[in-house]
Amino acid sequence: MSQPTAHLLALADFNDARLDEDEATAKAADGDEIEATPSLWGTKYLTLRGDHDDRHTAELPADLADHIARHDPARVLAEVAAKRLLIANWRDLILRIDAETDPEKRELLALTRHGLDQVAHQFAAVHAAHPDYQESWRP
């Protein structure tokens, strides 16, 4: 395995691990839906709906409540699934390029991979403060 391939596969592993963390946190939230419900004086409270009785938070600034509701567990799980698929396809492409013997096919695969490389670097950069993040992954 070439050094660039090993580097990219380590980046894929890092992204997979962050997706695992996001997925675990969303599943632990125990709420299928979070709704920002208007209250008084421009504030809102969150209504958490799931397999339990509805629960409510204290009043929050409306913008903050809207932000939290927009990133409810169901949405996070959908984003994790979409990103996981992209990373899996990218990982397959990395390995396929190394195995390709036809120079023309290899060049076309490399062009396709280049765009996905950029996406994967951006995914990782969101977690640049993580102790496992490598500066060489910075876009």
Condensed to tens digits (0 to 9), the pLDDT of residues 55-105 reads 787 888 888 889 888 888 889 999 999 999 999 999 999 999 989 999 999
Burial 107-124 (b: 16+ CB within 10 A, else e): eebeeebeebbeebbebb
More reliable by pLDDT, 50 or 97: 97
User: Rounded to two decimals, what is the model's pTM?
Assistant: 0.83
| Amino acid identity, position 37 | T
Condensed to tens digits (0 to 9), the pLDDT of residues 3-26 reads 688 999 999 999 999 999 999 988
Count, residues in the chain: 139
> What pLDDT sits at residue 2?
60
CA distance 24 to 10: 21
